[in-house]
Chain A
Amino acid sequence: MSAHYLARKLAQAFVTIVAILILNFLMFRMMPGSPDRVIKNPNLTPEVIAATRARWGLDKPLLPDQLIAYVKATVSGDLGYSIFYRGQPVTEVLGASIGPTILLVGLAEVLAIVGGLAIGAYAGWRRGGKTDSIGTGASLILYSMPYFVIGMPLIIVFAAGLGWFPTSGMTTPGMSDQPLLTQAWDLGSHLVLPLIAVTLGLLGGYSILMRSSIIDTRAEDYITTARAKGLKDGYVLRHHAFPNALLPMVTLIAINLGYVIAGAITAEIVFNWPGLGTLTIHALNARDYPVLQGIFLLVAVSVVIANLIADIVYGFLDPRVRT
């Protein structure tokens, strides 16, 4: 991979993150309840107002002084203070919720990638066959379902109806003094349903994309060559078609990350899973803007970094783009 390719991708990611910061800053100024409003009090003398404005840096121009101050604070990890969780720094509030979301989304991504790629590859290879019609039909239906629409029937059948799994939360209260194995079992049983919901939500999209990727690959000359050499059909699929069809998937999976997190937010609400999604709802209902801004910043920057990693991985895997 050339240094030029890497430098260009790094520069693009950097510019995007700066743009996200500026967007976040501008939204922050637009929204109601700015300190300026609070000090529009007829009982205050002009001197007090001026002093307060100076105290909060509001006497300086919006651009660039206030923007620079905002970027400086953000980069140093100061995202402000939560309104709902009184006075707690936003970074602490986010930190407490990020673990459960990573656990849920991370596991679901792994399961959905393995399952979706397998189904999609097989369906595309045997295009028009029985696996293709059933697999692709099911994938299209899953693809049309918001994650919470998948989650709600799961609760009705397996939690409320059959009682196999708990309906909500991540742990049973009062579990902390139990042996570690019992705690892990408890966590696992809470995890099953949300995990199935997010995995199924992801699976359909991945399978559809993989199918069209393998159909594109199937028409390539090297596949014909491999067949002409007399290689077995399954061998050609696994060793010639699959690795090449995987390439575009790297980028697509990274671009998808933003949607995955957004979808996981709705799944978390249904299962009352204590991650970023549940936090988003609490923050939304309380109009806790500092926390909402923190969530947006966190998700947006993660997506940009995921895309950067995908570009770099792609550059390693495919010599054609290393220019």
Chain B
Amino acid sequence: MTPTTAPPAAVTPARRGSRAGGRARDFAGRFLSRNDGRLGLLILVVFGLLAAFPDVFVGKLETATTATGQSLQPPGGGYLFGTDELGRDVLNMTVHGARISMTIGLMATLITVLLGAVVGIVAGYVGGKTDTVLMRISDFFLVLPTIVLAIILAPVILDIVGADAELFGIRATMIVIVVVIGLTSWATTARVIRSQVLSIKMRMFVDRARVVGSGPGRIMRRHVLPNVINLIVAQAVLTFAVAVFTETTLAFIGLGDPFAPSWGEILNSAQGAGAPGLGAWWYIAPPAICVVLVVLAFTLVGNALDDILNPRSGARR
């Protein structure tokens, strides 16, 4: 019996359990044996903690009214990273920025990957005209300059719904940024998933499922999805890097929410206060270094996962 014809259902629950455990251990071992994977994971754990408990580390987010420092005070005298033009502690804002930037990144990633995975699986599995139409649409979004489209879409949507509107207690500005990033960056994920689905579709267990009378919806959910879930995870991590990067750019351009200062928003106010020309490096360096570290960490972890989980990328990088 060749491995491809071995019915997965024939595996007894006990054996399957031990095999999955072994696989997970094998995966963890391969991931942690890579320097890039370890470094990326370490950075993400640190920033994850900062984002989860900002109040524990630096107290409540300072506002213009609760700020205690002088304007643009250099580091020292109780302000490790100095102050901004309103006298707010830059360290305080940067730590709180972690939560805001990464929350937006997470939400945008979920939308992107959900859209991309659904389009990729349907296009790859259904094929034919559906595939052609969906891939034409994804081509359009691949070619389209995402950030430029986002720059136009965000203010249009904000003007329609109003910047102070709220949905489930989240301010509209944040939702608009999330939706805009999601709408404009799902195409890459869709492409990657589709090409994997195309090869899975040819495998024996899909034919077998069809023979016993499973409909396309059930086959996609029960047979195709579990086989591309690894790839979806790797794509999600890589998308997170893109989402944080895009959010920073959009906020820097002035589309962020001043009441929820992400790192891009802090850099935007630094630019507005003329910090670069005044040589106020302490206002710029902390948020800028955080953005670079987080984007770098997600890229490293994503590449490591992709190398291990994606059969196509193999030993390339």
Name the interface size band of chain A.
35 or more
A27 with B254, Cβ < 8 A, contacts A148-B267, A215-B316 known:
no
What string of 1s and 0s marks CB contacts (under 8 Å) between B159-182 and chain A?
A: 110000000000000000000000
Q: How far is the CB of A317 from chain B (nearest CB, A)?
A: 20
What string of 1s and 0s marks CB contacts (under 8 Å) between B133-171 and chain A?
A: 000100110111111110111011001100000000000
Q: Identify A287's interface contact among B155, B275, B293, B296, CB under 8 A.
A: B155
Closest 5 A-B residue pairs measured CB to CB?
A258-B145, A262-B147, A144-B295, A155-B276, A144-B296
When distances are taken between beta carbons in the complex, the residues of chain B under 8 Å from A153 are 281, 284-285, 288
Indicate if B240 sits at the interface (CB-CB under 8 A): no
B299 contacts A143, C-beta separation under 8 Å: yes
B284 contacts A156, C-beta separation under 8 Å: yes
B288 contacts A296, C-beta separation under 8 Å: no
What string of 1s and 0s marks CB contacts (under 8 Å) between A271-307 and chain B?
A: 0000000001100110101001101100110011001
Q: With A and B bound together, what is the CA distance between A143 and B252 in angstroms? A: 18
Q: How far is the CB of B224 from chain A (nearest CB, A)?
A: 28
A255 with B151, Cβ < 8 A, contacts A27-B156, A212-B317 known:
no
| Total cross-chain contacts (CB, 8 A) | 150
Q: How far is the CB of B298 from chain A (nearest CB, A)?
A: 9
Q: How far is the CB of A137 from chain B (nearest CB, A)?
A: 9
When distances are taken between beta carbons in the complex, the residues of chain A under 8 Å from B292 are 141, 144-145, 149
Q: From B49-57, B227-235, B241-249, give the one contacting chain A.
A: B241-249
Q: Identify A296's interface contact among B152, B284, B300, CB under 8 A.
A: B152
Q: Identify A155's interface contact among B252, B277, B285, CB under 8 A.
A: B277
What string of 1s and 0s marks CB contacts (under 8 Å) between A139-162 and chain B?
A: 011011110110111011001110
**Residue with the greatest number of chain B CB neighbours at <10 A, chosen from A146, A212, A269, A289:** A146
What string of 1s and 0s marks CB contacts (under 8 Å) between B228-270 and chain A?
A: 0000000000000100010011001111000000000001001
Closest to A307 in B: B143
Q: With A and B bound together, what is the CA distance between A143 and B241 in angstroms? A: 11
When distances are taken between beta carbons in the complex, the residues of chain A under 8 Å from B249 are 146, 148, 262-263, 266
Indicate if B14 sits at the interface (CB-CB under 8 A): no
A212 with B316, Cβ < 8 A, contacts A152-B288, A269-B271 known:
yes
A30 contacts B160, C-beta separation under 8 Å: yes
Indicate if A259 sits at the interface (CB-CB under 8 A): yes
Residue numbers of A with Cβ under 8 A of B are 12, 15-16, 19-20, 27, 30-32, 140-141, 143-146, 148-149, 151-153, 155-156, 159-161, 167-168, 212, 215-216, 255, 257-259, 261-263, 265-266, 269-270, 280-281, 284-285, 287, 289, 292-293, 295-296, 299-300, 303-304, 307
A285 with B160, Cβ < 8 A, contacts A149-B291, A160-B277, A270-B276 known:
no
Closest to A254 in B: B143
A299 contacts B252, C-beta separation under 8 Å: no
When distances are taken between beta carbons in the complex, the residues of chain A under 8 Å from B245 are 144, 146
Q: How far is the CB of B24 from chain A (nearest CB, A)?
A: 28
A259 with B146, Cβ < 8 A, contacts A148-B252, A149-B291, A160-B277 known:
yes
Chain A to chain B contacts (Cβ below 8 Å), 11 pairs: A144-B296, A146-B248, A149-B291, A152-B288, A153-B281, A155-B277, A259-B147, A262-B146, A270-B271, A281-B254, A287-B159
Query: Knowing that A160-B278, A296-B151, A303-B145 are A-B contacts, what are 19 other residue pairs whose CB atoms are under 8 Å apart, sorted by A's residue number?
Result: A12-B139, A19-B140, A27-B153, A30-B160, A31-B156, A144-B296, A145-B291, A149-B288, A152-B270, A255-B143, A261-B145, A263-B249, A269-B271, A284-B255, A287-B155, A287-B159, A289-B156, A292-B151, A307-B143
**Residue with the greatest number of chain B CB neighbours at <10 A, chosen from A30, A144, A284:** A144
Indicate if B279 sits at the interface (CB-CB under 8 A): yes
A300 contacts B144, C-beta separation under 8 Å: yes
B284 contacts A284, C-beta separation under 8 Å: no
Q: Identify A295's interface contact among B139, B148, B277, CB under 8 A.
A: B148
B276 contacts A167, C-beta separation under 8 Å: yes
B149 contacts A296, C-beta separation under 8 Å: yes
Within 8 A of A (CB), among B84-141: 136, 139-140
When distances are taken between beta carbons in the complex, the residues of chain B under 8 Å from A261 are 145, 148
Q: With A and B bound together, what is the CA distance between A161 and B284 in angstroms? A: 15
Q: With A and B bound together, what is the CA distance between A161 and B281 in angstroms? A: 10
Q: How far is the CB of A94 from chain B (nearest CB, A)?
A: 13
Q: With A and B bound together, what is the CA distance between A318 and B291 in angstroms? A: 40
When distances are taken between beta carbons in the complex, the residues of chain B under 8 Å from A263 are 147, 249
Q: Identify B143's interface contact among A32, A141, A215, A303, CB under 8 A.
A: A303
B148 contacts A27, C-beta separation under 8 Å: no
When distances are taken between beta carbons in the complex, the residues of chain B under 8 Å from A269 are 252-253, 271
Q: With A and B bound together, what is the CA distance between A304 and B155 in angstroms? A: 24
Closest to B137 in A: A19
When distances are taken between beta carbons in the complex, the residues of chain B under 8 Å from A307 are 143
B277 contacts A265, C-beta separation under 8 Å: no
Q: With A and B bound together, what is the CA distance between A280 and B149 in angstroms? A: 12
Q: With A and B bound together, what is the CA distance between A149 and B292 in angstroms? A: 9
When distances are taken between beta carbons in the complex, the residues of chain B under 8 Å from A255 are 142-143
B159 contacts A32, C-beta separation under 8 Å: yes
Closest to B156 in A: A31
Q: With A and B bound together, what is the CA distance between A307 and B254 in angstroms? A: 30
Q: How far is the CB of B197 from chain A (nearest CB, A)?
A: 23
B299 contacts A144, C-beta separation under 8 Å: yes
Q: With A and B bound together, what is the CA distance between A117 and B63 in angstroms? A: 47
Closest to B303 in A: A140
When distances are taken between beta carbons in the complex, the residues of chain B under 8 Å from A270 are 271, 276
Closest to B147 in A: A262
When distances are taken between beta carbons in the complex, the residues of chain B under 8 Å from A159 are 276-277
When distances are taken between beta carbons in the complex, the residues of chain B under 8 Å from A300 are 144-145, 148-149
When distances are taken between beta carbons in the complex, the residues of chain A under 8 Å from B146 are 258-259, 262
B148 contacts A140, C-beta separation under 8 Å: no
When distances are taken between beta carbons in the complex, the residues of chain A under 8 Å from B252 are 146, 148, 266, 269
